[in-house]
Structure 1
Amino acid sequence: MASHESSKDARRAEVYVLSARGSEPEHERAVHEELARRIAALLGARYGGRYDAAAPPAGRAYAGRAYAGRAYFVPSDTIVGLANARQLKLASEHDLFGGIVPHPFVATKAITHAVLREDSRTPAGWSRRFGDEVRDSVLSGYSAFTLDDALEAGEALLSAGPVRIKPVLATAGRGQILVESRGELLAALERQQGGLLETHGLVLEEHLEDVKTYSVGRVAVGGLVASYVGTQSLTRDNHGELVYGGSTLTVARGEFEALLLLALSEEERLAIAKARRYDEAATRCFAGFTASRRNYDIAGGSSRKGEIRCGVLEQSWRIGGASAAEIMALQAFAADRDCKALRAQTLEIFGTHEAPEGAQKLFQGVDPDIGLISKYVRVQAYGN
C-alpha cells in the first residue's frame, strides 16, 4: 500500500467535515465531527467545522467557489469522480480521510465480483481485470446491472446452495435477503429498484453459516500510519434486526509488515493476505484511485455442504464504523513514540444500557429512524 509523507509536509491550515451524501443520520454526523476534531489535532491544524460550498472561506476553488489554505477534508462518503476531486484540490491520500474513486460503482461492493458473462451489461469504467485478479480472494458470487442478469446469476449460484442478495448502497448489513429457491429469488429481485440496479448494481453471493467477519485496514494521517486486523460484532437494533455492533482491532504502528510481526492467528493472517490482494488489484485496475482510509470486511465460515470458505465481502474507502478506533489508535501512537501496537475497540449499542468500562462516549441520542443509539470507543495496551 502507499507510502506516507513526513509530518512537516502533511501540515494543514484547516480541517473540514464534508457532507458527501444526500442524507446523513444525526449520530453519524456527530461522530464525524468529533473525529475531524481529533484529526485536526493530529495535523496541528484548525478545525473549521462543516464545509459549506455555498459560503466557503476565500482562497481555493470548489465547484466554482473558493476556500482558504491547505485544507484537509473528512468526507462522509467516498469522493466519486476525478473532476470532483480536482475541484476540491484532492490529489493524494494526504488531502483527506477517506478515498477517491473514478466511477460510482467503484465505491460500492459491486466491484467485489465479476459479472456472469462477457456480454453482461456493465457501467462505464468497469474492469473485468479486477474481477479476475480478486477471484481467489472473494466468495463465490456475481454482480449484476440488469434484472435478467441478476436472475441468471442467482440461478447459477443456487445450484450450489443458498444465496444472499445484497443491495450495494446498504450499510451495516441492512437490506440483505437470503434466498434458497428460484421462487424466493424472483420475489427478492422484484423488490429491487430498477434505476438503482442499472446505475449501481446488485451483488448475489454464496451464503455462509457460522460466519466470523474480520476487519483489515490501513489508515494514514499526517505522517502517521497504522495497520490493523480484528473482528466485527453484531447486535440487535431497536427493531430487532441484526446489524453491525462494533469492531475490536489489533493495531500496529506502520504498514502491514509491522502488523504481521505480531502474534496473530492463522485466520487473521489469511484475512490480511486476501485484503492486501484486493487492495493491490484496486490500485492497478482503477486509475485515479487513492485512499488514506482502507478498510476491508472479510467473512470466514462454512457453506451448507460444510466447506470452509473465506473471502473479502467489500471495501470501505471512507470514514466508517471502525474509524473512531483507528483515529484513537493514531492519537495513542502520536502521544507515545515507543508504542508499537495496541488494542482498539468501537461499540454501537441500541436502547438503554450501562456504559462500557473504560470507554469514551462519542454519541448518545435518539435517531428518528433507528431510535436510541450510543457509540463508544476505547483503547487498551497490546496483550490485554
Structure 2
Amino acid sequence: MGRLRIGGECRRHHEGREQQRQREPCPARQSNHDNVSRPPSFLDRHEGQTICSVARSIARLKDFDYAGPHDRVRLDAGSLFFVPDDTLLRRDADALGIREVEDLYGGIVPFPFVQTKAVSHGLIDPAAARPEGWSLAFAERIEDVVLPGFTAFTRDEARRGARALLEQGTIRAKQPRAAGGNGQHTLASVREADALLAQLDEDELTTHGLVLELHLDGVTTLSLGRVTLDDTTIAYHGRQRMTRDNSGHCVYGGSDLTCVRGGWSALEARPLAPAAKTAVRQARVYDDAMSEYGVVASRRNYDVGQGADSSGRSRSGVFEASWRVGGATPAEVAALEVFARDSSIDVVHVSSVETYGADIAPPDDAVVHFHGVDSDAGPVLRYSLVRGTSRRDP
C-alpha cells in the first residue's frame, strides 16, 4: 500500500520543566481506500487545511502544542496523538503504535471493507462470496436498521440481488469506496441493472464489492454520532445540508447538530422528534453491532437516510458509518470546546458549514477553517459556528 504520511504533530505543555513529547494531535494522512497515497498537495487544499485546523483545536483542548506536519522517521510514533484523514486499518495502526481510543481522533478497523459502504448490508445468501473477515453475525444484527439491500462480490450475485430488490421498487447501486454521492446509479428495471453490471470491472467487484439497496425519494440525511476526547464524551443528532459547488453541482454543505454531554443514553433521554428518535435508535443498534468487528473508535458517525420508496412507503435506515474526520467534525470539536469551557452547559447547538463562490464572508463569530481558492474546487469557505447552548437545571 502507499506510504503513510502523517500531516501534523504537537507537543504538550509542561509548566516549570522542559517540554517532553507526549501523545500529540496530528492530522494523519493515510492512503485512501484504493491504496494510493494522497498527493503531497492534499494539506494545501480545503480538506487538508480543515483537518489541520481541527488538529490545532484538539491540541488546545488537550493543552498540547501543535507542531505541524509529522514525519514518522523523525519522531517516535508512540509519542503522538493522531487525527487521521481516513479510518485506519489495524495493521497500519499497530505499526504506528495506535491501539486505543486514547491514541487518536478517529477509528481503527480490522479489514478494508469495514472502511466502506460494503459492510452495511448482508450477502444474497450465506454461501455467497465474501472477503476475508466478513461477519454474518454483524449483517444479522443490523438488518432491521438499514434499508433492504445486499452487498455482492460477484456479477452473478449482484444480478440476483438486483432482481430480488427490484420486486420491491426502484433500487440504487453504490460503489462502496465512492464518497460524496459519487459512484451511485438509480435502477428501475432489470435491463438497467444488467447494463450497469455489464460495465463493472471484475477485479473492482471481487475486491471491493457492490452495494444494492432500495432507492428513496425525498431523502433527508440525518447525522448521528458519538465522540470521546480524554474524559469527555458527547453524542449528537442533526441534519445535513446540501449546497451548490462552483460548477453548479449539488454537494454536501455542512451539518447542523445538537450535541449533549454523555453517550447514546444521554441523547435518547432528550425530547426528540419521532424521526430523530428513530434515527438515534438505528445508529445505536448499528454502533453496538460493530463489536462483531472489534472496531476501536473515539469518533463514530452514522448517516441515516429517511424518505419514501417507490411505492410511497416511508423508510429509515443507516446509509453508512464513518470513524474518520468528516464534514461534521468541525462542529463536533466546537461543541467539545464549549463543554470544556463551561461545565454547567449540557447542550450545544452547532453547525459546520461548507459554501462555495467568491465574495462570501463568514459570520463574525464563526471559526474559519478554510477561506480561499482551492486548486480543484475553486473559492471555498469552511467554518463552524456555535448557535446556542443550554444549561442543566439547577
How high is the TM-score relative to the length of structure 1?
0.89
Displacement, 1:269?
1.1
Displacement, 1:353?
5.1
Displacement, 1:308?
1.0
Q: Are 1:174 and 2:192 counterparts?
A: no
In structure 2, the CA distance between the partners of 1:141 and 1:378, relative to structure 1 (3 Å rule), is same
Displacement, 1:274?
0.4
Q: Deviations over 1:168-202 (max 9, x none)?
A: 11112222111112222233334433322222221
Whole-angstrom CA distance in 2 between matches of 1:242 and 1:351: 14
Amino acid at match of 1:382: T
Whole-angstrom CA distance in 2 between matches of 1:121 and 1:111: 14
User: In structure 1, what is the equivalent of residue 335 of structure 2?
Assistant: 329
Whole-angstrom CA distance in 2 between matches of 1:193 and 1:173: 20
**Alignment check: 8 A CA contact 1:19 1:50 kept:** no
Query: What secondary structure is seen at the aligned counterpart in 2 of 1:232?
Result: strand
Whole-angstrom CA distance in 2 between matches of 1:34 and 1:130: 35
1:1-384 aligned at under 5 Å gives the runs 12-21=22-31, 22-23=37-38, 25=42, 26-53=45-72, 55-57=73-75, 60=76, 67=77, 69=79, 71-80=80-89, 82-283=90-291, 285-287=292-294, 289-352=295-358, 354-357=360-363, 358-382=365-389
**Alignment check: 8 A CA contact 1:250 1:382 kept:** no
Displacement, 1:56?
2.3
In structure 2, the CA distance between the partners of 1:12 and 1:266, relative to structure 1 (3 Å rule), is farther
Identify the structure with bigger relative contact order (alpha carbons < 8 Å, sequence gap 6+). 1
Query: What secondary structure is seen at the aligned counterpart in 2 of 1:126?
Result: coil
Whole-angstrom CA distance in 1 between matches of 2:235 and 2:276: 13
Amino acid at match of 1:33: C
Whole-angstrom CA distance in 2 between matches of 1:253 and 1:380: 17
Amino acid at match of 2:318: V
In structure 2, the CA distance between the partners of 1:122 and 1:46, relative to structure 1 (3 Å rule), is same
Amino acid at match of 1:295: N
Q: Which moved more, 1:371-380 or 1:233-242?
A: 233-242
Aligned residues: 360
**Percent identity over the alignment?**
39
Q: Deviations over 1:125-155 (max 9, x none)?
A: 0001111110000001111112222222112
**Alignment check: 8 A CA contact 1:13 1:46 kept:** no
**Alignment check: 8 A CA contact 1:229 1:268 kept:** yes
Q: Deviations over 1:56-115 (max 9, x none)?
A: 22xx4xxxxxx463x2001110011x2322221112111101000000001111111001
Whole-angstrom CA distance in 1 between matches of 2:376 and 2:347: 38
Whole-angstrom CA distance in 2 between matches of 1:158 and 1:200: 22
In structure 2, the CA distance between the partners of 1:272 and 1:198, relative to structure 1 (3 Å rule), is same
Displacement, 1:44?
1.5
Q: Which moved more, 1:291-300 or 1:252-261?
A: 252-261
Amino acid at match of 2:371: Q
Q: Which moved more, 1:151-160 or 1:355-364?
A: 355-364
Amino acid at match of 1:366: V
Q: Deviations over 1:212-253 (max 9, x none)?
A: 111000011121111000011112223333221110000001
Q: Deviations over 1:343-374 (max 9, x none)?
A: 01011112235334343221123334333322
| Structure 1: stretches of 5+ with no match in the other structure | 1-10, 61-66
Q: Which moved more, 1:240-249 or 1:130-139?
A: 240-249
How large is the Cα RMSD of the aligned pairs?
A: 1.8
Amino acid at match of 1:351: G
Amino acid at match of 2:25: V
In structure 2, the CA distance between the partners of 1:148 and 1:371, relative to structure 1 (3 Å rule), is farther
Whole-angstrom CA distance in 2 between matches of 1:294 and 1:255: 11
Whole-angstrom CA distance in 2 between matches of 1:68 and 1:159: 53
Whole-angstrom CA distance in 2 between matches of 1:238 and 1:194: 34
Amino acid at match of 1:162: T
Displacement, 1:49?
2.1
User: In structure 2, what is the equivalent of residue 3 of structure 1?
Assistant: none
Q: Deviations over 1:320-347 (max 9, x none)?
A: 0000000010011101111110101011
**Alignment check: 8 A CA contact 1:218 1:226 kept:** yes
In structure 2, the CA distance between the partners of 1:321 and 1:191, relative to structure 1 (3 Å rule), is farther
**Alignment check: 8 A CA contact 1:78 1:98 kept:** yes
| Structure 2: stretches of 5+ with no match in the other structure | 1-20, 32-36
Whole-angstrom CA distance in 1 between matches of 2:376 and 2:176: 20
How high is the TM-score relative to the length of structure 2?
0.87
**Alignment check: 8 A CA contact 1:250 1:344 kept:** yes
Query: What secondary structure is seen at the aligned counterpart in 1 of 2:301?
Result: strand
Q: Displaced runs of 4+ in structure 1, greater than 4 A?
A: none
**Alignment check: 8 A CA contact 2:159 2:197 kept:** yes
**Alignment check: 8 A CA contact 1:12 1:43 kept:** no
Whole-angstrom CA distance in 2 between matches of 1:190 and 1:236: 32
